[in-house]
Amino acid sequence: MRLRYATGVVLPYFLRKDGTVGPLAFAHRGFSLDGLENSMAAFRAAVELGTVHLETDVHTTADGVLLVFHDESLDRVTDSAGRISELTAEDVAKARIKGLEPVPTFDELVAAVPQGRLNLDVKDWNSVVPVAEAIGKHGIHDRVLVTSFSDRRRRAVLRRLCRRVATSAGSTLTAVFVFLGPVLPAALARKLLAGVDVFQVPARYGRFPVVTSGFVRRAHKAGLQVHVWTINEPAEMERLLDLGVDGIVSDRLDLLKEVLVRRGEWV
């Protein structure tokens, strides 16, 4: 399905690397079979495999440096410890992911992948202003999708931007659409989803299926894409692509690439 917006064109973020419309392959925190998530090595590996869409997360240090990192603390994936919001950038610079790779700054990531499309999950309120300022400083409005589980936090970033960026619905809006979508009046749905471009959702929540043919159909009718996370099994990738989803977020970009190649949908 060719998704078109009020301008009559697809937002640049949703185009594949050759400028066409089709299923997007998102590298979840980059690509690393060795657990080097959100490291420059993982992002470089994803780009080398052929994707431009990189899913990542941001946190901000006590002295205002925006970092590419998932957890609120260093404890789980690095050889250091402590909450990022309570540490300086100099403190974090000493940490190594799995004892090997430094924690990248957002500026470093932007510089290293000039063609990259960044799916930015804003993890905390401390990062709202730094994210907006970084997008403006680098002029990457067409290269980012701003997302957060918190619709309020997501909107807070968007209000601080001088230009439109792609954005996904947070948990509350998504839940409303999942549970009430079949009976929600079209006019009310459009009002609730004004400015939203995509639902980024799990295939199921516990035993409850989220991504169904009906959900995808209703999202497309509302002009929104559907991206599904985090899918690592080829059979599930195939099933979701058959349903018509517009993107898959995966730890196994290598397997996702193989699936898309077989389907003739890899650029």
Q: Cα–Cα–Cα angle for 70, 75, 80, nearest 5°?
A: 110
Is 28 marked active-site? yes
Q: Among residues 70, 138, 141, 220, which one is catalytic?
A: 70
Q: Smallest Cα–Cα separation from 27: which of 236, 220, 227?
A: 227
Number of H helices, E strands in the chain: 10, 13
Instruction: Give 252-259's long-range contacts (Cβ < 8 A, gap of 24+).
Output: 253/25, 253/27, 253/28, 253/31, 253/46, 253/49, 253/51, 254/31, 254/49, 256/25, 256/231, 257/25, 257/49, 257/50, 257/51, 258/234, 259/234
d(CA 29, CA 18) in angstroms, rounded, equals 23
d(CA 258, CA 123) in angstroms, rounded, equals 31
Q: Smallest Cα–Cα separation from 43: which of 28, 58, 25?
A: 28
DSSP H or E run through 27: strand 24-28
| 183 burial via Cβ count (<10 Å: 0-12, 13-18, 19+) | exposed
Q: Among residues 28, 53, 59, 227, which one is catalytic?
A: 28
Q: Tokens for 5?
A: 């917006």
Is 70 marked active-site? yes
Q: Bridge-partner residues for 90, per DSSP?
A: none
**32-47: string of b/e by CB count within 10 Å (b at 16+)?**
beeebbbbbbbbebbb
The set of catalytic residues is 28, 70
